[in-house]
């Protein structure tokens, strides 16, 4: 596997490539082992489902909103952003945890105060 990026969409990526940080919180990266074509198809599905949430909200259609949220979850699981972790190094899933606590605390402090 290639070296993980240091930033994604302007956000810092943990040294192991498992997470990116937004607002001090860890968010799981997509599985870097997904073939590019599959990743692109899943991202399209994800963005379509996110648009469907907005349409359903504007229409007040609760059932359509629930279906769209389920489609988002399905795409995120297929991308490796939710569900079982895609890495095999034994590291726990810290998705949505604060970066300033746990195993990334020292890295995060150094990032903020170089």
∠ CA 49-55-56 to the nearest 5 degrees?
85
Rounded Cα–Cα distance for residues 45 and 56 (Å): 16
Q: Render pLDDT for 42-80 as a digit per residue (tens, 0 to 9).
A: 999 999 999 999 999 999 999 999 999 999 999 999 999
In eight-state DSSP terms, residue 79 is H
Same domain, 74 and 41: yes
- Are residues 110 and 75 located together in one domain of the fold? no
41 and 72 part of one domain: yes
Give the structural domain span for 72: 35-79
Task: State how many domains the chain has.
Answer: 2
Three-state DSSP class for residue 88? coil
Task: List, in sequence order, every beta strand (DSSP E) within 1-114.
Answer: 7-8, 11-12, 19-22, 25-28
State whether 13 and 49 are in the same domain: no
Is the domain of 71 the same as that of 90? Answer: no
User: Whole-prediction pTM value?
Assistant: 0.88
Question: Quick one: average pLDDT of 2-7?
Answer: 78
> For 15-37, what is each residue's pLDDT tens digit?
999 999 999 999 999 999 999 99
């Amino acid at each position: 596997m290639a070296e993980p990026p240091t930033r994604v969409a302007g956000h810092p990526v943990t040294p192991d490539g498992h997470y990116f940080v937004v607002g001090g919180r860890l968010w799981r990266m997509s599985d870097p082992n997904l073939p590019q074509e599959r990743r692109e198809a899943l991202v399209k599905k994800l963005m379509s489902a996110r648009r469907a949430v907005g349409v359903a909200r504007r229409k007040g259609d609760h059932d359509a909103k629930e279906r769209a949220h389920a489609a988002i979850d399905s795409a995120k699981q297929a991308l490796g952003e939710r569900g079982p972790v895609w890495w095999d190094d034994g590291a726990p899933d810290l998705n949505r945890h604060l970066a300033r606590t746990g195993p990334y605390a020292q890295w995060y402090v150094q990032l903020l105060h170089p």
